């Protein structure tokens, strides 16, 4: 079996040169990044009782799955984490490697899907950020991911809820009206309800510990954490 959706990989490979352009096709992710980084950092610090203010994630082994060009891997690395980033697109990995080298960052980038990753180590933290709605088989994908996580490790999943509101906002609004994203970036049928995500991960010894919505404030031009799960949401799971 494979978790890779070749159509999705081709789609993102064709945009690989634009990962680090804050005004390009990944502009929404650049705006999204600060709230993602803050959320992940704070939850890791609380879980592992880290107290180094300069490098708060020092000593934490993180696997960033579907890392793209490294938009999340790089700030995690700067915070002190030992970073491995994987992506099924070789073009994305080449972009990520080039940018990390240019900025003097030591990140282990590998072109792979989680089920094909051949590493002897397991990870303290796995990041599945804006990736589960793009895979071929979400159950197989998450099962493969869970095998790479240490006991008492954390998995963060950020994705889009499967609601009428998410269709209106995330597809019609973001792709067709506001043109924040290229048309065809998302397919509503692949969106995931929080309860379904929770059920899949429970079968793989991962229990839900935190669930929050994420909302974009157009007036302030920024994302914030909210209790509204109807469109974007982020979840923290603990492996037993």
Q: Give the range of the structural domain holding residue 193, as residue numbers without chain letter.
A: 6-239
Q: What is the pTM of this model?
A: 0.94
CA pair distance 173, 178, nearest whole angstrom: 6
The contacts of residue 146 (CB under 8 Å, 6+ apart) are 155, 201, 204, 205, 206, 239
Indicate the number of domains in the chain.
Answer: 1
Q: Does some domain include residue 126? A: yes
The residue to which tokens 């995690």 are assigned? 76
| 1 within domain boundaries | no
Q: Given phi > 0 = left and psi -120 to 50 = alpha, else beta, which region is 201?
A: alpha
pLDDT in tens, the chain (240 residues): 899 999 999 999 999 999 999 999 899 899 999 999 999 999 999 999 988 888 999 999 999 999 999 999 999 999 999 999 999 999 999 999 999 999 999 999 999 999 999 999 999 999 999 999 999 999 999 999 999 999 999 999 999 999 999 988 888 877 776 677 778 888 889 999 999 999 999 999 999 999 999 998 888 989 999 999 999 999 999 999
> Is residue 44 in a domain?
yes
Is 16 a domain residue?
yes
Q: CA 130 to CA 159: how far, in whole Å?
A: 5
Note whether residue 99 is domain-resident. Answer: yes
Would you give the end-to-end CA distance of the chain in angstroms? Answer: 26
Whole-number Cα distances in Å, 115 to 86, 134, 138, 146, 215: 11, 15, 12, 10, 32
Query: Burial level of 104, CB count in 10 A (0-12/13-18/19+)?
Result: exposed
Report yes or no on 70 lying in a domain.
yes
Instruction: Give the burial class of 8: count Cβ atoms within 10 A of its Cβ; 0-12 exposed, 13-18 middle, 19 or more buried.
Output: buried
Q: Which residues pair with 87 in a beta bridge?
A: 111
CATH number at residue 20: 3.40.50.150
Task: Please indicate, yes or no, if residue 208 is contained in any of the structural domains.
Answer: yes
């Amino acid at each position: 079996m494979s978790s890779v959706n070749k159509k999705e990989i081709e789609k993102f490979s064709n945009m690989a040169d634009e990962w680090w352009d804050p005004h390009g096709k990944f502009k929404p992710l650049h705006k999204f990044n600060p709230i993602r980084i803050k959320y992940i950092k704070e939850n890791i610090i609380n879980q592992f009782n880290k107290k180094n203010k300069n490098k708060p994630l020092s000593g934490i082994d993180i696997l960033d799955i579907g890392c793209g060009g490294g938009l999340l891997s790089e700030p995690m690395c700067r915070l002190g984490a030992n970073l491995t980033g994987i992506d099924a697109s070789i073009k994305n990995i080449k972009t990520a490697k080039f940018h990390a080298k240019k900025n003097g960052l030591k990140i282990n980038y590998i072109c792979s899907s989680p089920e094909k990753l051949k590493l002897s180590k397991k990870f303290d933290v796995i990041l599945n950020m804006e990736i589960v709605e793009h895979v071929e088989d979400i159950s197989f994908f998450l099962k493969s991911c869970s095998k790479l996580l240490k006991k008492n490790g954390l998995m963060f999943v950020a994705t889009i809820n499967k609601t009428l509101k998410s269709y209106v906002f995330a597809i019609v609004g973001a792709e067709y009206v506001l043109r924040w994203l290229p048309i065809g970036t998302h397919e509503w049928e692949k969106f995931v309800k929080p309860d379904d995500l929770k059920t899949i991960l429970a079968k793989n010894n991962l229990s839900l510990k935190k669930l929050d919505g994420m909302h974009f404030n157009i007036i302030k031009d920024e994302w914030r954490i909210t209790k509204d799960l109807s469109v974007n949401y982020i979840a923290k799971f603990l492996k037993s």
